[in-house]
Amino acid sequence: MLDVIVLSAVLSKPPIRGNTREETMVVCFDSSINEVVDKSDFSIASIRGSASMRNTIEKDLFTGPSAALYGDADIATAFRTLADEWSARTQHISSNKDLITDPNYRQIVKLGWSVVPLLLKDMRDNKRFWFPALYEITNVRPFDPSDAGNGKRMLEAWMKWGRLKGLI
């Protein structure tokens, strides 16, 4: 039953045309919504599409809180709590891999597109390390590869992208 509720909440959003990973997922997903919800016996196996797509959906839906479980205000609160905890306990880490595999970081990524404006604003205001999270969610890197490591240029590129997308 829970999976049907979660799935319904995700699919209640209007489909968005786009070419990034999550947007594509929603568009593909939408084609099978009526059938799934009408039957009321949803299972991951009933999703049309490739096995990898099903795996991604399954992973995103059932292994942690997704944006579907939060309202906008809740997302902001959840994000702030997770981000502050993450900052506090990873400050000594130099390994980017360790930074982004911290459970709180994973939870933030699982919040999906809804958290992107918050990530951008937090990166602008608090200068926290959200580059990998933004890439994981959006599947884009708006800066030139030669600017990798140049925090100023990377930040500028992400802010420009955020403004163009109307996210900040």
Partner 1 sequence: VSCPHLEIIFIKLNAAGYKKTSETTGYPPAPGAYNCIAWAANDSRQWWWPDSDSYWPAWSERKLNIGSFVKAFHRLGYRICGHSRVEFAFEKVALYTLNDEPKHMARQLRDGTWTSKCGGLEDINHFTLDAVESYGPHPEFAEYGAPELYMKRFIPVAWVVKLVQCIAWKIQEYRDR
What distance in Å separates the CA atoms of residue 122 and residue 38, rounded to the nearest whole number? 41
Please select the residue that binds partner 1; options are 23, 30, 58, 102, rule is CB under 8 A. Answer: 102
Residue 96 binds partner 1, judged by CB under 8 A: yes
Residue 155 binds partner 1, judged by CB under 8 A: yes
Q: Quick one: which of 134, 113, 120 has its CA closest to 10?
A: 113
Residue 81 binds partner 1, judged by CB under 8 A: no
Contact between 136 and 163 (Cβ < 8 Å): no
Find the shortest distance in angstroms from Cβ 161 to partner 1. 14
Residue 121 binds partner 1, judged by CB under 8 A: no
Find the shortest distance in angstroms from Cβ 31 to partner 1. 33
Find the shortest distance in angstroms from Cβ 141 to partner 1. 7
What distance in Å separates the CA atoms of residue 86 and residue 106, rounded to the nearest whole number? 10
Contact between 47 and 26 (Cβ < 8 Å): no
Find the shortest distance in angstroms from Cβ 156 to partner 1. 9
Contact between 57 and 7 (Cβ < 8 Å): no
Q: Which amino acid is at 82?
A: L
**Sequence-ordered strand ranges (E) for 48-147:** none
Residue 125 binds partner 1, judged by CB under 8 A: no
Binding residues for partner 1, per CB under 8 A? Answer: 89-99, 102, 123, 127-129, 131-132, 135, 141, 145, 148-155
